[in-house]
Amino acid sequence: MSDIFDLTALELGAAIRQGEVSPTQAARAALDRMEETKENGAFVAVTADRALDRAREIEQQLAAGKCAGPLAGVPMALKDNICTKGVSTTCASKILTGFVPPYDATLVERLGEQGAVCLGKVNMDEFAMGSTTETSYYGPTRNPWDRERVPGGSSGGAAAAVAEGDCWYAVGSDTGGSIRQPAAYCGVTGMKPTYGAVSRYGLIAYASSLDQMGPLARDAADCAAVLDAVMGKDPRDGTSLDVPAGGLLAGLTGDVRGMKIGLPADCFGDGLDPAVRQGVLRAAQTLKARGAELVEFDFPVMQYVIPTYYIIAAAEASSNLSRFDGVKYGWRAQDYEDLTDLYCRTRTQGFGAEVKRRILLGSFVLSAGYYDAYYKKALQVKGLIKKAFDDAFTRCDVMLTPVAPTTAPKLGESLSDPLQMYLSDIYTVSVNLAGLPGLSMPCGFDEKGLPIGCQLIGPPLGEDKVLNAAHAFQLDTDYHKRRPGQGQAEQAEKKEAV
């Protein structure tokens, strides 16, 4: 058998079922790897003993003929905003230091039923607010392709851990791009499902109407397998949808003949790095060569998506984060005079600058004098954005766009100018505002050898179409198989006209 680090999660799962490698061997290999690569700062908590106990348990279940899922025994990681019973969950914030949830998120339970072996919790921007994983209380995660660069965010730890080979897949959350953009920066495949497809019970809320959890993995097939395990109705989340779980992996045919791929012109205009544009358009040609049809159209709502997203996300965040007051969860300031002072000091000292900025912005747009002008207006524009997507999907089956305007920036470059950083979310936030499924996958490398990502967007519950288009692309390309450090110079793409 080849090196287990070259295997996808599904390939490792198959090797485990065939007895070629045991869950304990896989978990030990991953834990050793994490030790070697720990300077990447991907993990905020490593639960080695629990992982090894769990691996032994799965081994026994497999021996007894139970636990036959395709991912049984495969080591994975969870973003630190996903509640794990008995394991600290901090959202990479000082204010949640010491918080140990008394329950598992529904997603964690469902993956557990499929035999997942969790290695630990991965780093993120504080409360998932950010695009670089630099706002983490624990310090930044580094991009495995170039350690002077960011891995993206906010699920940067998850993307870096998968790219580095620390684990075979990870689960992140995506409110405005936080799975897709780090997946693009780190050269892995990541998917945000349709809003409601995966229960949010146990995901610590940032903006409840936009948040979704989803996988970051080596390829589309691995993402399909994870989604098969976690999708579906959950009585504990009233917004979860009654969709049949399973079937996505089985539906991956790679046949895209006749599939209409929409290219919205407004996603390829000014501000897009030429190497990224070229990579995405080349992906379109690859799909065309497999029989898909390319359809171009204007998509002018793009100009409204950033302000709309940042008003709605900040408004919901300001409300959601009011519960962190030093009384109910985690950390509490030491010296205080009375209850108000306790709240004030805990929140002043416990939250970082970006989180405070969002709380201030959110409280402002929700305040009596400004509610109609900003928040209500943003909700109306959100409706228009949703309608623009509905119209687009009368013309095409899936849309293809960039994930981010550039490849990964250097550490420290983005935080100095938050507005500029917000603008870099332009291609991802609309997908959350419209509640759609979106997938990011590697489609090339720029002249610096950094991965380029492209995004496939589907209609509501069009996960099957999106995953199948991605799978078709990955059957014909090997960008998703390349690993950091393997001759990066040779991986740099020559600029060629599409």
Residues tagged active-site: 79, 154, 178
Which of 129, 281, 378, 404 touches ligand GLN by CB under 6 A?
129
Q: Nearest to ligand GLN by Cβ — which residue?
A: 178
Give CA–CA dist 248/490, Å, rounded: 35
Which of 22, 133, 136, 175 touches ligand GLN by CB under 6 A?
175
Tally of CB atoms within 10 A around 148: 10
Coil, helix or strand at residue 452: strand
95 contacts ligand GLN (rule: CB under 6 A): no
Burial class (CB in 10 A: 0-12, 13-18, 19+), 373: exposed
Stretch that binds ligand GLN, among 32-40, 127-135, 228-236, 391-399 (CB under 6 A): 127-135
178 contacts ligand GLN (rule: CB under 6 A): yes
Which of 23, 101, 156, 176 touches ligand GLN by CB under 6 A?
176
Please say which residue, 47 or 414, places its beta carbon nearer to ligand GLN. Answer: 414
% helix, strand, coil for the chain, step of 5? 45, 15, 45
Question: How many H helices and E strands in the chain?
Answer: 16, 11
Stretch that binds ligand GLN, among 168-176, 197-205, 287-295, 399-407 (CB under 6 A): 168-176
Q: From the CB of 153, what's the least distance to ligand GLN, in Å?
A: 6
Stretch that binds ligand GLN, among 124-132, 362-370, 441-449, 480-488 (CB under 6 A): 124-132
Contact 119, 21 (CB under 8 A): no
Residue with tokens 């287990």: 4
Contact 202, 85 (CB under 8 A): no
174 contacts ligand GLN (rule: CB under 6 A): yes
435 contacts ligand GLN (rule: CB under 6 A): no
* Residues 263-302: x where in contact with ligand GLN by CB under 6 A, - otherwise, as a string: ----------------------------------------
Burial class (CB in 10 A: 0-12, 13-18, 19+), 147: middle
Q: From the CB of 430, what's the least distance to ligand GLN, in Å?
A: 12
Which of 101, 120, 130, 350 touches ligand GLN by CB under 6 A?
130
Please say which residue, 205 or 261, places its beta carbon nearer to ligand GLN. Answer: 205
Q: From the CB of 391, what's the least distance to ligand GLN, in Å?
A: 25
154 contacts ligand GLN (rule: CB under 6 A): yes
Please say which residue, 180 or 282, places its beta carbon nearer to ligand GLN. Answer: 180
Count of positions on this chain that bind ligand GLN (CB under 6 A):
13
Please say which residue, 177 or 232, places its beta carbon nearer to ligand GLN. Answer: 177
Give CA–CA dist 167/187, Å, rounded: 15
Residue 296 contacts by C-beta under 8 Å, 6 or more apart in sequence? 262, 263, 264, 265
> Could you tell me the strand order of the sheet in which 189-192 lies?
43-46, 117-122, 75-79, 169-174, 212-217, 189-192, 438-445, 451-457, 398-402, 260-264, 293-297
Which of 313, 404, 441, 457 touches ligand GLN by CB under 6 A?
313
Contact 279, 414 (CB under 8 A): no
Please say which residue, 237 or 296, places its beta carbon nearer to ligand GLN. Answer: 237
Interface positions, 190-249, toward ligand GLN (CB under 6 A): 206
Give CA–CA dist 78/67, Å, rounded: 21
438 contacts ligand GLN (rule: CB under 6 A): no
Nearest to 112 by CA among 58, 45, 179: 58
Nearest to 408 by CA among 440, 455, 452: 452
Please say which residue, 153 or 279, places its beta carbon nearer to ligand GLN. Answer: 153
Q: From the CB of 250, what's the least distance to ligand GLN, in Å?
A: 29
80 contacts ligand GLN (rule: CB under 6 A): no
Any idea how long the chain is? 498
Interface positions, 407-426, toward ligand GLN (CB under 6 A): 425
Q: From the CB of 38, what's the least distance to ligand GLN, in Å?
A: 24
- Beta strand 451-457 pairing with 438-445: antiparallel
Residue with tokens 């600058």: 353
Phi/psi for 444 (5° steps) reads 150, -175
Please say which residue, 211 or 234, places its beta carbon nearer to ligand GLN. Answer: 211
DSSP state of 371: I
Stretch that binds ligand GLN, among 15-23, 163-171, 172-180, 343-351 (CB under 6 A): 172-180
Encoded amino acid at 427, one letter:
Y
Q: From the CB of 44, what's the least distance to ligand GLN, in Å?
A: 16
Residues forming contacts to ligand GLN in the complex (CB under 6 A) are: 128-131, 154, 174-178, 206, 313, 425
